[in-house]
Amino acid sequence: MRQNNRPRALDIALKAGLSTSTVDRVLNGRGRVSTKAVRLVMEARSELEQQVSPVSSLTDQIEVILPENAGNSTRYLGAFFRLAGHRSGVAIKVNWVDRMNPAALSAALLGTLERRPQGVAFQALDHPLVHEAVAKLRSEGMRLTTIVSDLTGEGVGYVGMDNRAAGRTAALLMGNYCIGSGSVAIVWSGQLSRAHEERESGFRALMRAEFPDMMVKDINSGNDQPEENFRLIQELLESDKSVAGIYCVGAGPSAIVDAVKAAKQINRIKIFAHNLTHVTRAHLLASEIDIVIHQSMQEIADRALAEIMSGKPISRHSVATQVITRENALHHLDLNAISDWLD
C-alpha cells in the first residue's frame, strides 16, 4: 500500500479477493459490476486506508519473460502485464526471448538475478537448462510463477488454464461435431511446451475413451511455424481424404485454415484452435474456424502479479477454460484497454 494511505488497486484486489480489473471498474466507474463486488471493494479500501505501510510502490518491479513471435495472444499477455502494473503502481519489465529456445529462456531467467526484481513470471519450457535456472533462482529466494505453460517438479507457482482439461474439452466437442466421420488430426509442437503436451494427451485420452472409432493423427509442426503448418496439412489432406477435423494446440491456425481452403474442404473439415485474438475471431465469424478454446490473458496477468506481490507463498491458480464460437465471439476480447501497451 502507498505511504499516503491511498491503497493500490492490487492491495484492494488481494484484500477483496477480486481481480485488479474488477477493482478498477468499481473505482473508476468503467463497465458493469455486481453490487457484491462494489461492496467488497469499498470495504477493502476502507480497511486499507486505515493502515499505514512503509513500502513505496516505486521500488516494486516484476519481470515477465515471454516467447517472441509466438502469436497475438502472447503480445496481448505482455500488454496486460504492463496495464496491470500501471494500475497497481508496479513497474513491469517484459523480456522477449526466442520461442522454443531453452538456452535463451535460461539466460533470461538467470539475467534477472542482476536486477533483483520482486519476482519473475515466465512461460516455461520443460528442459534441463530451464530447470537448472529455476533451481538457481529459487535458491536465491526469487519469487517465481509460470504462466500459460507449467514446469514439472519445481514447486513454483502457475497461472493459466488446466491444459489437459482444455484438450479433453476440445476432444469432446470434436467428437460430437465429427461423429461417424473418419479421422481427426492434432497439430502441435509440444516437445518443450508442457501446455501443448497436456492439451494433446488430454485430447487423445478422451477421444480414445469416448470416440474409439475415430483415428487420431499426430502432426508435429515443429516450433509453431505457420508455413510448416500449411505444408503438413496440405500433405495430410492430399494423402487422407477421411480427415474430418483438425485441432491446433498452439500457434499458426491461419495457416491451417489456408491449407483447408486450398483443398476446398473449408465447410467439411472442422477446425479447432486456441486463444481468441482479432485474427481467430475473424476466422470464427467467417465460419473458417469452428471452436476457439480460450483463456483470459488479462486474468493471467492480474493473478500472476497479485501472487508475486502478495508476500505469501505463491500458489497455483487455474483460469477458466472458455469455449468461443462465432455466436459469442463478439462478447469477448476488448483490446481497447491495452492499445497503448502493445509492442
30 pLDDT band, cuts 50/70/90, is low
Predicted local confidence at residue 336, as pLDDT = 84
Q: How far apart are alpha carbons 79 and 68 in whole angstroms?
A: 13
How long is the chain? 343
Predicted local confidence at residue 180, as pLDDT = 74
Predicted local confidence at residue 55, as pLDDT = 38
Query: What is the spatial order of strands in the sheet that 270-274 belongs to?
Result: 215-220, 183-188, 243-248, 270-274, 291-294, 322-324
Read off the pTM: 0.82
Average pLDDT over residues 159-172: 97
Predicted local confidence at residue 54, as pLDDT = 40
Query: Average pLDDT, whole number, for the chain?
Result: 88
4 pLDDT band, cuts 50/70/90, is very low
Chain segment 188-245, per-residue pLDDT in tens: 876 789 999 999 999 999 999 999 999 999 887 656 677 888 999 999 999 999 999 9
Q: What's the distance, Cα to Cα, between the start and end of the chain in Å?
A: 29
Predicted local confidence at residue 228, as pLDDT = 83
For residue 229, report the phi and psi dihedrals to the nearest 5 degrees: -55, -45
Chain segment 94-105, per-residue pLDDT in tens: 999 998 899 999
